[in-house]
Chains A and B, each alone.
Chain A
Amino acid sequence: MFETTILTSIKKAVEKCDSLHGFLLMFSTGGGTGSGLGTYILKLLEDNYPNIDRFVICVYPTGTEDVITCPYNMALATKELIKHASCVVPVENRALLDIVNRQANNKHSVDTMNFIAKCKPFQDMNSIIVNLLLNLTSGSRFSGSLNVDLNEISTNMVPFPNLQFLAAGLSPLTVSSDLVKSNKQIREEIFLQTLQKNNQLLKINVTGPKSIILGTTLIGRGDFNISDMRTYIQRLQKKTCFTSWSARAMKIGLCDVPPIGHHAAMLSLFNTTSMSTLLKTVNSQLMRLYNRKAHTHHYLQVPGFEDYFFEECSEIITSSIQSYRDIEELKPFGIPRLTPVGSDISL
């Protein structure tokens, strides 16, 4: 209904830019407007501006669903994301909640306590996503000795067209740090924190034994320098599993300007196979409802929506999960076919 209005307003905004980097879309996949209209606009953008990258930051309400039809919305939106987005950074509500809770439990100085008291929890959760965005776009906003632009991220991080979900890790997550000049130890701690489970905006373990990494980006802001980055890369390569071709797939960026209140901060982006756990949750929740055909009549009433959309959507998500699994199971060439061990041979 609003298609032309939306398109013209996008067009107007685009015409004002002298260099269009990419579109940033932010929505939650739980509700109707975000998941439905958001992904529709995503498709519009792909049709009208095929060469411009579309970055999607979307909130998955897994674990904290507040809408009953949430699984449907989530799955249908995920399908559209897989098909049309060039990069997706999913954020899970429960991960955000954990981070916020942890911060509330921490002991703070009086100032920060007051600051937190002023904020409402939802604002706090949103501010985490805002931080993610700020760090992500820092390369195009500020100068640095190794710039990272948004479009570079999708070149570097998406090895195959349907594996475009990135896990983001942020550090530090506190509102402000002590204003001590950062030294090597502090910087290293920041780096290690970005890898930790607690600092991920998704409930997945990036450095765990099951996750195989397809691409990494480390964006250091503030005091980081090139020798830091090189040591981090070496540590990361020792610590985590890679496929045979992605071991050197590291992108590093340095930005001179740190976030307000900090001396150094780091954003890590991972394209990892453990992302399939998120997709699995989405799919299983969809199937749980759809097997009973619960609430489907609301969707089927809408003109233009057919029953097979659900199945198609589940199919696409499963195929995406499968391609992650394929990579997990990808072994280096030439596995010996016969390796007799002692006398344990049974024929």
Chain B
Amino acid sequence: MSNITLQFGQCGNQVGQALYSCVYEDIKSKNECCVSNKRLNNEYIKESQNMWFHVKQSGLEARSLLIDTEQKVIHQANNKPYKFKNVIAGSYGGSANNWAFGYTSRCLLVASDIMERLRHEIEKCDFITCLLNILSSSGGTGSGVGSRIIELMREEYPSKFITNIIVLPFQKGDIVTQNYNTLLTLSKLYDVTDNTILFENDKIYDITRKLTSDREVRLSDLNQLIAQQLASIAQPLNDVTFSQVVSRVTTHPSYNFIQIRSAPHLNVAHLNYELIPNWSILTNQVFKSSKTDVLVNPRLCKKIRYIGNVVVTRGYMTSNEIDLKRFKEKSMYVSWVPETERVLHYGQQRGILNYQRFISLLTNNNSILSGSWTDIEKQLLLETLQKYGVNNIQKIAEAVPSKSIFDIRSIISKYQCMAQRAMAETCSSTASSSSEAPVDIVLKYIALFDYRTDKQINLEDCYMVLSDLTKGDPSKQLEGKTAQFFHECFTKLARSVKEDDHSKKEVFLDSLEPANLSTTRTYRAKVDRNGILSDTNLNPCKVPANLLMDKK
């Protein structure tokens, strides 16, 4: 049983090399936990070697294709005890962080060579479990060339199990075009491949920062961690293959993005002095890390629904030591997942690397959507918006701690855009249906949608009244200061209009009188059109009758 890896681009090659060195270290590990059972260890080593390497007399040869459009990274590869034979790296000068460039033009240069080498490599294996693509989604080579090659692979080998390992970029920027590239890659690969294991740079970075508290984080540390998590899933298990493990999680073809959580993560230098906690504590750790993506506020933490979980344990354990009851709760799962399929456990008695016990969880859940807004967050945003208004972003950010200022700003502008569009549509539709100018409707919309901070004067009501007045409907009673303000405005307007020279409108303007809005009015159930004209309550401005009549 073997896996073939294809490493695309700078990130893919770095992660891939880290993965192979991780596996190699694991094979050669002299640690007590690994070599205690000789027979078991030998079996494991043999299987693992067969899985990742092509064993030759001259040494080990990685079952791997290194693909890049420039040569610098790949040149670093070959000073290891094992060999990378398949290097496909023309010095074409990179793909310029441009997905389209990699997908269409750069790919042509390498495609035939890759397919040929891949065929050779497959022929060398006696049984192939999985084709493993390692790539980052932000750059040009990994994302562009990668997605094209994977499509070609699917055409060539329709029944092979293809898994991607995609490293997502830092949210706060690595490359300017990363969002375009990521989206294009994920959407291309979604249909083509069986499943995708996602690694988020941000999350990996957080974990490594805790591990390397004594020094600064290097990129190789991130790669190391990704490799470790991968190896813990992919290294031989007792009686299942890697592809079986992964496919148990992706039971539904449309939900094929999965993540890995693992424990313990310890500083390598401290490993000899630190005791690895027992299984139940480790299980708890993994459970927690799978459940809480947003650690800020438990109220905001979205309800996570699982589709499937697989727990892989490495290290000696007796049969009843692990307790997966917490993973089995019905409410955490999507309703169509049968009880027996919710969580599966695979064990390997041998430890991994220098870890006596290592637990990893392969999980398929909806937390990959964590960037979007949950209902609770939206509700919170609405409350804070009512309190502080749109302009005070700083305050809003304090009240909604799980989101950054950028997120808040973008969602507000998104909603404003939506509201404006809705407004424009409604206005235009009403305007087109009736030939009259929709002054009253516009005023009403202003009243409903326009944003104000002033508390003393209720401008919304003013607009509402104006809207009602232009329609000729009975209007709402204004209060205190607002009424006074409205009154003042109206008189001022009337005066200024009167003083102007509008000979045509004289008839209308002469009939205008300062409105008397402060008196209480009673509304009738039915409004008689002609009655309005005489009733000062309903027609406070004394608009002439011919202007109020419907033009039919």
Residues of A within 8 A of B (CB): 18-21, 140, 142-147, 149, 151-152, 154-157, 184, 215, 225-228, 230, 233-234, 237, 244, 247-252, 254, 332-334, 336-342, 345, 347
Contact = CB atoms under 8 A, between A and B. Distances in A.
Contact of B454 (A147, A225, A237, A340): A340
Interface string B468-483: 0000000000000000
B112 interface: no
Contact of A152 (B91, B94, B179, B216): B94
B218 A151 contact: no
Given A155-B96, A225-B217, A226-B222, A233 B172 contact: yes
Interface stretch (B227-235, B349-357, B445-453): B445-453
Interface stretch (B156-164, B375-383, B405-413): B405-413
B305 interface: no
A215 B91 contact: no
A248 B14 CA distance: 25
A156 B177 contact: yes
Nearest to A22: B93
B217 to A, nearest CB: 4
Contacts of A145: 14, 218-220
A216 B463 CA distance: 46
B453 A339 contact: yes
Contact of B406 (A152, A248, A339): A248
B93 A20 contact: yes
B21 to A, nearest CB: 16
A151 B413 CA distance: 33
A155 B98 contact: yes
Contacts of A18: 91
Contact of B173 (A249, A338, A345): A249
A347 B495 CA distance: 11
B303 interface: no
Given A156-B175, A230-B172, A143 B72 contact: yes
28 contacts: A142-B72, A143-B75, A146-B10, A147-B70, A147-B72, A149-B70, A155-B177, A156-B97, A156-B176, A225-B218, A226-B217, A226-B222, A227-B216, A228-B216, A230-B170, A230-B172, A249-B173, A250-B173, A250-B176, A252-B174, A334-B390, A334-B416, A336-B390, A339-B451, A339-B453, A340-B454, A340-B459, A347-B489
Interface in B412-443: 412-413, 416-417, 419-420
A339 B459 CA distance: 10
Given A227-B205, A252-B173, 13 more contacts: A18-B91, A19-B91, A143-B72, A147-B70, A151-B96, A152-B97, A155-B177, A156-B175, A156-B177, A244-B409, A248-B171, A251-B174, A251-B176
Most buried by A among B170, B171, B412: B170
Contacts of B266: none
Q: Which 3 A-B pairs have the closest CB atoms?
A: A334-B416, A250-B173, A151-B96
A338 B205 contact: no
Given A145-B218, A146-B219, A248-B173, A339 B416 contact: no
Interface in B89-111: 90-94, 96-98
Contacts of A157: 176
Interface in B309-329: none
A164 to B, nearest CB: 14
Given A225-B218, A244-B409, A143 B93 contact: no
Nearest to A271: B176
B452 A155 contact: no
Q: Please classify how large the interface on chain B is, using the bins under 10, 10 to 19, 20 to 34, 35 or more.
A: 35 or more
Contacts of B92: 19
B222 A227 contact: no
A210 B166 CA distance: 40
A338 B172 contact: no
B73 interface: yes
A333 B416 contact: yes
Given A149-B70, A230-B205, A248-B406, A336 B172 contact: no
A101 B3 CA distance: 62
A234 B172 contact: yes
A225 B296 CA distance: 28
A339 B450 CA distance: 9
Contacts of A21: 93
The listed residue with most B CB atoms (<10 A of its CB), out of A157, A225, A226, A251, is A226
Nearest to B177: A155
B381 to A, nearest CB: 15
Interface in B60-107: 70, 72-73, 75-76, 90-94, 96-98
> Which of A157, A184, A244, A334 is the most central at the interface, judged by chain B CB atoms within 10 Å of its CB?
A334
A149 B409 contact: no
Contact of A338 (B70, B179, B409, B459): B459
A233 B205 CA distance: 15
Nearest to B202: A230
Contacts of A342: 454, 456
Interface string B29-49: 000000000000000000000
Contacts of B520: none
A233 B70 CA distance: 27
Contacts of B417: 333-334
A86 B4 CA distance: 40
Interface in B455-506: 456-457, 459, 485, 489, 492-493, 496
Contact of B90 (A19, A143, A337): A19
A254 B219 contact: yes
Given A147-B94, A156-B176, A339 B222 contact: no
B209 interface: yes
A186 to B, nearest CB: 13
A250 B172 contact: yes
